[in-house]
Amino acid sequence: MDNPFAVLGPHRDAEGTLVIRAVQPAARSVDIHLVASGATHPMRRRDEGMFEATLPASAGAGIPDYRLRVRFGSGQELEIDDPYRYGRVLTDFDLHLFGEGTHLRAYDKLGAHRTTLGEATGVHFAVWAPNADRVSVVGDFNGWDGRVHPMRLLAPSGVWEIFIPDVPDGEKYKFEIRTKAGAILEKTDPFGVAFEAPPQTASIVYDLSRYQWGDAEWMGERPGQGGWLDRPVAIYEVHLGSWARMAEDGDRFLTYRELADRLVPYVKEMGFTHIELLPVMEHPFSGSWGYQVLGFFAPTSRYGPPEDFKRLVDECHRAGIGVILDWVPGHFPRDVHGLARFDGTALYEHADPRQGEHQDWGTLIFNYGRNEVRNFLLSNALFWLEEYHVDGLRVDAVASMLYLDYSRREGEWIPNQYGGRENLDAIEFLRRLNTLTHGEHPGTITAAEESTAWPGVSRPVHLGGLGFTYKWNLGWMHDVLEYASKDAIFRRWEHNLLTFSGLYMFTENFVLPLSHDEVVHGKGALIDKIAGDAWRKYATLRTLYGYMYGHPGKKLLFMGGEFAQWREWNHDRSLDWHLLDDPAHAGIRRYVQALNSVYQGEPALHECDAEPSGFRWIDCHDSENSVISFLRAGRGGREPVALVFNFTPVARHDYRIGVPDEGFYAELLNSDSELFGGANVGNGGGVPSDLVASHGFDHSIRLTLPPLGCLMLKRR
């Protein structure tokens, strides 16, 4: 039945008699109560729980205000405002925009929303299910009986809606869908803003407007933060469920509120500029770390209600910390209560498995060519930036979206209309995503996890690029970790792993990621990847971090890396915070803190991250000693910083490098400082320059390079 309103509710028959019908299968009896007169009229039972009453002429010529008095076998009696006496809510314009994929605020129209019609306040439910035979709202308020509240189909949009008066916040609900084949499906709301805690799966009616934000200063300045390319960006990547746990309380998760009180001050103390959260959108399986999303519009209830997540974002902003969310438009899980075959057909996904399935991950691929699906995802991106004040989205698995043959053998994929392997619909979707987010919310950023040589990922759309603010530099990450895994005696033959990034470091706006992906699945912790004994591991890790902070590109470090956790990350356990009792681990943490301070304080280290004018090799050829050196400079060449890295466990004395100007070169940072767990091998705070030409400069300095050490020097 696609229009239950044609049968249920009040109707005038051919003679003008008022007939009211209601479906209450669990009721013993139902009466009509006329509000104005107080009169009561019994309804007679018909088949399938249908009740019907014919009102006398004295009831009036129009449709009177009435209620249904429902008595159940248990003796319970309810007075119900009949939803079938109310007209439609969604306008033809809403449906037109949704159908053409341009309704930027579709989340305000679909889903469950508190609404007032006339004198009645209730919840308007709307869902897209164009191929369903019938759609009903089911929940605690109707005994989960799909016969009670069937919805109206707004043809030809495929959207079903109903307004149900008096439904309070906190009510659990789903959409019961009867397919054309007669199967009954119970689906969670694709636009639901709150969910039960897993493993329960119902959506929850929730009013998101209650939270009072306190970040007006941050949000007011955000439009002017569009210049993130020349500002310091040091990102602390976090999985909320395992950053820390309450061991004394059954090893439970920290709540959003507890994270706001503990995580935010920690990130501020460490000097990071941003926090990036592994997906917080509701997901059924914790082992997916959030990357198999079911509730795209709902922060997971594992850590608390939606307003508590808002408080976490709010506290970040008050502390001057930006918030980036990992966002997953590349695929979704097959859970039967989710988006998969939502109305009995391939609605959000492609029907052909050669286009619609990620065989590696066991997930389904969005149909980016379908207007309504594209609208769902685009409005979702805007939702997080607007409703939750999020400052950026890191888009997961972009390579899997761009290529039709991603991780597929011959015959397992379908070429595009020109015979190529590029997913033209996904490309257009990503360009639209970046155009919208940057246009609608200036000052926000987008970052692509993209592992191939696709050109122009972070170039503007109007110049033919995809339009992302940043691209993750996964090539740099793989090379430096491979290099660090080599014994120092063999590094002279692997020198190109350190220097190869110089060939492409300015082809994109890069983020240098040492992310969660590098410390899971048997890969071990960062420090455990490094060759040598414990001393060499700690020292090399400090030098590696120094290289990341000196190299052009923004910085990202996964939690636990800042104090050199030995154990591979496990999403089911807290980080090993007890390691900070060990001076070696405490030294690494102080070192990362110092790196963040120098990085933010020196324009040379961040202003020209995406411009060749801010970088010059001093010497990239000293493979015999496994030493590299280069200059970073701010805009216009101002305040240059010289950086030198020794990747052998041998101190280098009287090591000469060229410098651009005469003067005293002070050590901004020495990774071998005792403060960081080193042996204080260095230059006593700095060295004067000599009028001795070297490396193309008229002046030079003679240095003592600490073993497995990093030096940052600046002319005073």
Does residue 464 fall inside a structural domain? no
With cut-offs at 50, 70 and 90, classify the pLDDT of residue 57: low
Does residue 101 fall inside a structural domain? yes
Q: What is the average pLDDT across 91-119?
A: 95
Q: Give residue 376's pLDDT.
A: 97
Of residues 176, 449, 479, 619, which has the active-site annotation?
Answer: 449
Q: Give residue 260's pLDDT.
A: 98
With cut-offs at 50, 70 and 90, classify the pLDDT of residue 16: confident
Does residue 63 fall inside a structural domain? yes
Q: Give residue 91's pLDDT.
A: 95
State the chain's mean pLDDT as an integer. Answer: 95
- C-alpha distances in angstroms, 535 versus 540, 549, 579, 586? 8, 21, 16, 14
Q: Give residue 360's pLDDT.
A: 85
Strand-pair partners of 556? 235, 513
Q: Give residue 17's pLDDT.
A: 85
Write the CB contacts of 550 (distance below 8 Å, at least 6 apart in sequence).
605, 630, 632, 641, 643, 645, 710, 712
Q: What is the average pLDDT across 288-303?
A: 96
- Is 576 catalytic? The answer is no
What pTM was computed for the model?
Answer: 0.95
- Pair (145, 59) in one structural domain: no
- Pair (690, 664) in one structural domain: yes
Q: Give CA–CA dist 236/379, Å, rounded.
A: 27
Question: What pLDDT digit, counting tens, does each position of 333-342 carry?
Answer: 999 999 999 9
Question: Domain count of the chain?
Answer: 3
Does residue 499 fall inside a structural domain? no
HSE-CB at 599 with a 13 A cutoff on CA atoms is 30
- Pair (60, 121) in one structural domain: no
Question: What pLDDT digit, counting tens, does each position of 192-219 carry?
Answer: 999 999 999 999 999 999 999 999 999 9
- pLDDT at 15 > cutoff 90: no
- Pair (78, 98) in one structural domain: no
- Pair (62, 145) in one structural domain: no
Residue after which a domain boundary falls, among 210, 234, 252: 210
CATH number at residue 661: 2.60.40.1180
Contact (Cβ atoms closer than 8 angstroms) between residue 5 and residue 84: yes
- C-alpha distances in angstroms, 667 versus 11, 124, 664, 672, 691? 86, 64, 10, 12, 20
Helix H segments across 185-339? Answer: 216-221, 256-270, 306-318
What percentage of the chain exceeds 70 in pLDDT? 99
Q: Give CA–CA dist 635/640, Å, rounded.
A: 10
Strand-pair partners of 71? 29, 77
What percentage of the chain exceeds 90 in pLDDT? 92
Amino acid at 173: Y
Q: Give CA–CA dist 640/608, Å, rounded.
A: 11
Q: What is the average pLDDT across 628-650?
A: 96
- pLDDT at 505 > cutoff 70: yes
Residue after which a domain boundary falls, among 210, 239, 271: 210
> Which residue in the block uniquely carries the two structure tokens 């009645």?
120
CATH number at residue 48: 2.60.40.10
Does residue 641 fall inside a structural domain? yes
Q: Give CA–CA dist 151/61, Å, rounded.
A: 27
Q: Give residue 61's pLDDT.
A: 66
Q: Give residue 58's pLDDT.
A: 59
- Pair (121, 41) in one structural domain: no
- pLDDT at 368 > cutoff 70: yes
Question: What pLDDT digit, counting tens, does each position of 171-185 carry?
Answer: 999 999 999 999 999
**Local structure of residue 568 (DSSP, 8 states):** P
Contact (Cβ atoms closer than 8 angstroms) between residue 433 and residue 380: no
Q: Give residue 81's pLDDT.
A: 95
Does residue 680 fall inside a structural domain? yes
Does residue 526 fall inside a structural domain? no
Query: Residues 183, 187, 189, 194: what is their CA dihedral angle, to the nearest 10 degrees?
Result: 160
- Pair (31, 106) in one structural domain: no
Q: What is the average pLDDT across 430-442?
A: 96
Q: Give CA–CA dist 317/173, Å, rounded.
A: 34
HSE-CB at 159 with a 13 A cutoff on CA atoms is 26
Question: What pLDDT digit, counting tens, does each position of 532-571 carry?
Answer: 999 999 999 999 999 999 999 999 999 999 999 999 999 9
- Pair (41, 113) in one structural domain: no
Burial of 437 (0-12, 13-18, 19+ CB in 10 A): buried
Q: Which domain holds residue 122?
A: 92-210
- Pair (148, 200) in one structural domain: yes
Q: Give residue 632's pLDDT.
A: 98
Write the CB contacts of 33 (distance below 8 Å, at least 6 apart in sequence).
39, 40, 66, 67, 68, 69, 79
- pLDDT at 48 > cutoff 80: no
With cut-offs at 50, 70 and 90, classify the pLDDT of residue 438: very high
- Pair (673, 710) in one structural domain: yes
Q: 199: cis peptide before it, omega within 30°?
A: yes
Q: Give CA–CA dist 406/292, Å, rounded.
A: 18
Contact (Cβ atoms closer than 8 angstroms) between residue 481 and residue 545: no
Q: Give residue 13's pLDDT.
A: 78
- Is 196 catalytic? The answer is no
Q: Give residue 193's pLDDT.
A: 98
- Pair (635, 698) in one structural domain: yes
- Pair (98, 71) in one structural domain: no
Of residues 396, 425, 450, 479, which has the active-site annotation?
Answer: 396
Consecutive H or E run containing 658 = strand 652-659
Task: Name the token pair of 103.
Answer: 């309704």
Question: What pLDDT digit, counting tens, does each position of 101-113 carry?
Answer: 999 999 999 999 9
Burial of 421 (0-12, 13-18, 19+ CB in 10 A): middle
Residue after which a domain boundary falls, among 188, 210, 232: 210
Task: Name the token pair of 510.
Answer: 């890069």
Does residue 705 fall inside a structural domain? yes
